[in-house]
Structure 1
Amino acid sequence: MKGMKFYSSLLGLALGAAVSTSALAQDVIKIGELNSYKTQPAFLGPYKNGMDLAISQINEAGGLLGKKVELIIRDDNSNTGDAVRAAEELISRDKVDVLTGTFLSHIGLAVTDFAKQKQRFFLASEPLTDKIVWGDGNRYTFRLRTSTYMQVAMLVPEAVKLNKKRWALVYPNYEYGQSAVNTFKTLMKAAQPDIEFVAEQASPLGKVDAGSVIQALSDAKADAVFNVLFAADLAKLVRAGSQRNFFDNVPVVSLLTGEPEYLDPLGNETPEGWIVTGYPWYAINTPEHKAFLEAYQAKFNDYPRLGTVVGYSAIMSLAEGIKKAGSTDTEALIKAFRGLELMSPFGPITYRAQDHQSTMGIYVGKLAKKDGKGIMTDFVYVDGKDVQPSDEQVKEWRKAAE
């Protein structure tokens, strides 16, 4: 009899612990995030800080739906197989409520397909490929960052103003670079029918032979360059071109180069006059950006990079979507995100119902140097809503997506 009482006591304790653990789990909303932290630290270190700032602000304000928010992170090793395994682990083992993240376009596409197969909500925070919301889009996937098409469309008017005929194209040879170049060709031909593309230099990501690229551009007698390289590849291109004085008389239109992640390392080698997309954090005077900047500097004693804005805005987007849905249920989130409006450090953004693409924009300006550092000058903010394709074009691209 004593043994039976002892067993009952143990059983009661075990059940109590189980109930307690279950109740504790129910008091937390888990956001599962996967990204290429090991291979892309320049962008994703600040990006993680942005997410951490958002999580702390949300929890300090009482959480979401009366629950604390927890961020669970996995590295995808810039490998599609690892990314899918990480996503599966986040869902099956960590029991996350939603998925977000990815940086490289091919990784983002792999997780987009995973979200479709598993019927789970996924907010692609950073990958730029157009396919995520258009050609390969699906009802479970939304995207925050300005797409490749949108960023190229922001630069084309400036490229046309140069009135150059013989263009060379330099890009990383994977989905993002290929998409950027194809869009540039299409939009430039429409705006300037006599344009010629006299050279294409496609390099493996992270393995550009910059000297050979510059020589090829010189041999082709290009009188303007459209560049899509970033990170270490960008630095190599700039250095090789400067050593040969190639850029002295050849204007360059360049994606991403004004982002602090890629501009700051150039330092005194910053190529002045390049037309770029980027983030001049030091000169944005809007109330929403000032509040974000002050909060970030107070928490990290550092300045934000573009990744910081993306990471912060991704978490805040999820927070607003969950509040609007009143739940983390996938179908409720899909409904809530279609037309979702919120304030970001760049101003108001909307997730378009027709393609799940947000209207977040980016800054366009020219590179200059100040005190041995690269800066953006003559910049303007281009709202994403002004450079998105037409609804008719979106319907054509997405006809097989739903």
Structure 2
Amino acid sequence: MNPLRHVFSAAAVATLATALVPAHAQGVIKIGEVNSYKAQPAFLEPYKKGMELAVEEINAKGGVNGRKVELITRDDNANPGDAVRVAEELVAREKIDVLTGTFLSNTGLAVADFAKQKKIFFLAGEPLTDKMTWQGGNEYTFRLRPGTYMQAAMLVPEAAKLKKKRWAVVYPNYEYGQSAVAAFKTLLKAAQPDVEFVAEQAPPLGKVDAGAVVQALADAKPDAVFNVLFGADLSKFVREGNTRGLFKDRTVVSVLTGEPEYLDPLKDETPNGWIVTGYPWYGIQTPEHKAFFLAYHGKYKDYPRLGSVVGYSMIKSVAAGIEKAKSTETPKLVAAFKGLQVDTPFGKISYRAEDHQSTMGAFVGKTKNENGKGVMVDYTYFDGAKFQPSAADVKKSRAAD
């Protein structure tokens, strides 16, 4: 009897067994993520926790298509050049399967362009400029959060109801701020043709001279103010505005200010009655949100911020896309994401085929100073699907780019 026959048989069986295991079931799914952790910790620390909770839940259920998920993050120093450099590192050195993340609109656009050049799937979680999915949108880039057009479209009906003629605007002078103001002006003029914009202040991001900005706005004597500042810039603006009486008998409409990341630090300086988009986590009673809140609080002994919802929903979206595609190959993932439905703490969302924008919405309400703490009151969830431009408008904006 030939002993080599048994060796050959064992080797053949091993080879056959390996061949029967689908290639995609081998190894982990690597999600590469790029963000401005050091520059924007208020939003991005909770965001990272949200991502980690989603990874933990996915892996506890056996992963995606039989593969566990691994999250690999890099800091982009809030710099578009660094964002591209670390994205390149994730692709070349870490051999990631999908690219995600970014916070600032300028870094987001840089990574979207990188994804286009390298033909790799990119899900932008947070950058809000409309150029992510409309003018400048590309085949490989999808976006989770409602962009500046959608958020402005949610706020403009409330702004128009005020019947204020003279408006002032203040915004951080980079892509997101410019995009938000452009959308608000266009939509408000369409709703109220007699509106005038009498003052505009555009300080550099993170470097607001709040006293000078507030004084310039007050000198213009506007009837109402549209504010796009956030983070430390917002806190300084509110403090000076309160001190100098800018907000007295004057309505303010403000993007993002109702988010706990930016509202909580205002504490007893919180102005009353601002019309804002935000996240009143303490009052959302839907089953999806309750389940998310309990899981998040159970893991971190803390309440979620909007960043927590974004990070969690972004990773859940990636997992749902890979499961539908049955692959991490970019062309299959791009195809799977068109029309993809995902369960999130805000309910079911989908990614539109025509522009890769998700239908995630936002809460719109008013700020209230409640015993020295800022909260949102009189809020309603606005479904993002109802505040998106038409497919024809999207096509036109992409063609014009």
Deviation at 1:137, TM superposition (A): 0.6
For the 8 Å contact 1:32–1:97, the answer to whether it is kept is yes
Distance 1:371 1:59 in 2: 42
Is the Cα contact below 8 Å between 2:24 and 2:327 reproduced in 1? no
Q: Secondary structure at the match of 2:202?
A: strand
* Alignment-mate amino acid for residue 227 of structure 1: N
Q: Does the aligned pair in 1 maintain the 2:25–2:65 contact within 8 Å?
A: no
Q: 1:395 and 2:398 equivalent?
A: no
Q: Which runs of 5+ in 2 are unaligned?
A: 1-17
Equivalent positions of 1:113-152 (< 5 A) are 113-152=113-152
Looking at structure 1, the residues matched to 24 and 139 of structure 2 have their Cα atoms a distance apart, in angstroms, of 31
Corresponding residue number in structure 2 for 1:336: 336
Distance between the aligned counterparts of 1:340 and 1:160, measured in 2?
34
* Structure 1: distance between partners of 2:260 and 2:364: 13
**What's the CA shift for 1:27?**
1.8
Question: Identical aligned pairs, as a percentage?
Answer: 69
How many residues of Structure 1 are paired with residues of Structure 2 in the alignment?
A: 380
Contact 2:102 2:126 in 1 (8 A): yes
Distance of 1:179 and 1:63 partners within structure 2 = 38
The DSSP-based 3-state class of the residue aligned with 1:399 is helix
On the 8 A contact 1:27/1:66 being kept in 2, the answer is no
In 2: Cα distance, 1:57 partner to 1:371 partner = 37
Which amino acid counterpart does residue 219 of structure 2 have in structure 1? D
Structure 1 residues 59 and 284: alpha-carbon distance in aligned structure 2, compared to 1, 3 A threshold:
same
* Aligned position for 1:7: none
Give the CA deviation at 1:357: 0.2
Opposite residue 324 of structure 1, the aligned amino acid is K
Q: Secondary structure at 1:248's aligned position in 2?
A: coil
Q: State the match for 1:295 in structure 2.
A: 295
TM-score normalised per structure 2: 0.93
1:165 corresponds to 2:151 = no
Cα distance between partner residues in 1 of 2:25 and 2:202: 49
Contact 1:322 1:333 in 2 (8 A): yes
Question: What is the distance in 2 between the residues matched to 1:396 and 1:223?
Answer: 35
CA RMSD of aligned residues (A): 1.3
Matched, 1:217 2:217: yes
Please give the alpha-carbon distance, in whole angstroms, between the structure 2 residues aligned to 1:308 and 1:325: 26
Measure, in 1, the Cα distance between the counterparts of 2:168 and 2:217: 6
| TM-score normalised by length of structure 1 | 0.93
Whole-angstrom distance in 1 between the partners of 2:300 and 2:285: 20
Shift of 1:26: 3.4
Distance 1:332 1:400, change over 3 A: farther
State the one-letter code of the partner of 2:88: E
Give the whole-Å Cα distance in 2 for the aligned partners of 1:124 and 1:353. Answer: 16
Q: Is the 8 A contact 2:25 2:66 kept in 1?
A: no
Q: Which runs of 4+ in 1 moved over 2 A?
A: 23-26
Change (3 A) 1:326 1:25: closer
| 8 Å contact kept, 1:365–1:380 | yes
Which residues in structure 2 correspond to 1:299-378 (within 5 Å)? Answer: 299-378=299-378
Going from structure 1 to structure 2, the CA distance change for 1:86 and 1:25 (only over 3 Å counts) comes to farther
Output aligned runs, 1:2-401, within 5 Å: 26-399=26-399
Q: Deviations over 1:85-113 (max 9, x none)?
A: 10000000000000000000000000000
Deviation string 1:303-350 (CA, Å, 9 cap, x unpaired) is 000000000000000000000000100011011000000111001100
* Aligned-partner SS, 2:116: helix
Give secondary structure in 2 for the equivalent of 1:203: coil
**Quick one: which amino acid aligns to residue 89 of structure 2?**
E
Partners of 2:168 and 2:226 within 8 A in 1? yes
Aligned residue identity for 1:397:
S
Q: Is the 8 A contact 1:228 1:256 kept in 2?
A: yes
The one-letter amino acid of 1:265's match is P
> Within 2, Cα distance between the matches of 1:354 and 1:240?
44
